[in-house]
Structure 1
Amino acid sequence: MNEDRHNGLLLVVRCQLGEREAFSELVRVWHTPLWRYVRSMVGSPDIADDLAQEAWVAVVRGFPRLRQPERFAPWLFTIARRTVVDHLRQAYTAQATSAAEGEAVADHDDSSSGVLNTMEIEAGLSDLPPLEREALILFHLQDLSLAACAEVLGVPPGTVKSRLHRARRMLRDVLIEKGYEA
């Protein structure tokens, strides 16, 4: 793990120096976790594609300002979070001004299996309030530390802990309500 972390740090520094091959490798390593986070927050794969692209553009523009390359993961997810928040704010504004455009679409896929798969968990996540959903995604699905989650969310670690506790309880209740054993 230490070697991976060291290689990741070198990769970020190489990107800051303008090496295109390094940026391609960085995207290869981080695009899927970034996309999953964004997808979990917005619900739509198509919108997630667009927002992930926006986040990568912001990363490229922001590299000169990244003073601590070892803090790349929280920095990346902070950029992604801002991109998602901007999108959700615009969507909310559009929905408020035009009630006809404000339809929520949810796909519910009935599964005969008793085992929870990723899609079923994501369906449960989509029923959680944004703050709790985001804490769960960053901590459990993106494997960020409590401190890194706090940095991304801009709140103290204690707040992240209470959001995680609340989110786990809410997710369990949502999954039980949908007929899954938690």
Structure 2
Amino acid sequence: MKNKTAHTDKELIKAYVNGESKALLILVKKWHQPFCKIAFSYVKSSAIAKDIAQESWVVVVDKLDTLEDVDKFKSWAIQIVKRKALDYLRKKQRQTKHLTFYKEDVEFEENSEESINEKKEKLRIAIKKLTLAHQQVIRLFYVEERSLTEISELLNISVGTVKSRLFHAREKLKNTIK
């Protein structure tokens, strides 16, 4: 493993799978920068792109021994980076959506004399007044930031039911708080 450029991805992967840890270092040095550039093309932040590339390496290293056709390493690894970047964007979009909901639908009066803690307490009490089913979807969606599909699988109900419960829970919270 002396000459870094003389080794193909295939040789490096086989060497790593056979226990030669230096081969992985060479592979990482070769591909880390391109991974960062690909991630950056999606997220437009170099710090986040570096994090995504790092997370992608965790998956690549973990699954490297399961790669059936090592000649396809490049496309396989790039797909992992792209998926990680898209996952980040989806999560960010969900968070923005949640914030928008709270800003638009659950408006507290700005000039109110209530403290933030009192407002939080009001919301907590209002949530406790909801049915258990509504409390579950609120907690999973807003606190644990689960997707509708994940909630559906966890509670063993349809996605439509999850949407319905979220809608009704929000309506009850709006009415209770206002």
Q: TM (normalized to structure 2)?
A: 0.51
1:26 corresponding residue in structure 2? 27
Q: What percent identity do the matched residue pairs reach?
A: 32
Do the aligned partners of residues 25 and 6 (structure 1) sit closer, same or farther apart at CA in structure 2, a change above 3 Å counting?
closer
By how many angstroms is 1:64 displaced? Answer: 1.8
1:126 corresponding residue in structure 2? none
Deviations 1:67-115 (A, max 9, x none): 1111000011011111111111111100100139xxxxxxxxxxxxxxx
Q: Distance in 2 between matches of 1:72 and 1:59?
A: 9
2:53 corresponding residue in structure 1? 52
2:13 corresponding residue in structure 1? 12
Deviations 1:40-85 (A, max 9, x none): 1100011011111000000011112101111000011011111111
For 1:98, what is the secondary structure of its paired residue? helix
By how many angstroms is 1:15 displaced? Answer: 2.1
Deviations 1:116-164 (A, max 9, x none): xxxxxxxxxxxxxxxxxxxxxxxxxxxxxxxxxxxxxxxxxxxxxxxxx
List structure 1 segments (4+ residues) > 4 angstroms apart after TM superposition.
Answer: none
Is contact 2:53–2:81 with CA below 8 Å preserved after alignment? yes
By how many angstroms is 1:8 displaced? Answer: 2.2
Question: Is 1:84 the counterpart of 2:88 in the alignment?
Answer: no
Is contact 2:39–2:52 with CA below 8 Å preserved after alignment? yes
Provide structure 2 residue ranges, at least 5 long, that are not aligned to the other structure: 102-178
Q: Larger radius of gyration, structure 1 or 2?
A: 2
Q: What is the letter of the counterpart of residue 54 of structure 1?
A: E
By how many angstroms is 1:18 displaced? Answer: 3.2
Q: TM (normalized to structure 1)?
A: 0.50
1:35 corresponding residue in structure 2? 36
Deviations 1:2-60 (A, max 9, x none): xx796221012112223210000001111111110001110001101111100000001
Provide structure 1 residue ranges, at least 5 long, that are not aligned to the other structure: 101-182
Q: How do 1:143-182 residues align onto structure 2 when only pairs under 5 Å count?
A: none
CA RMSD of aligned residues (A): 2.1
Q: What is the letter of the counterpart of residue 55 of structure 1?
A: S
- State the number of aligned residues: 98
Do the aligned partners of residues 5 and 90 (structure 1) sit closer, same or farther apart at CA in structure 2, a change above 3 Å counting?
farther
1:69 corresponding residue in structure 2? 70
1:93 corresponding residue in structure 2? 94
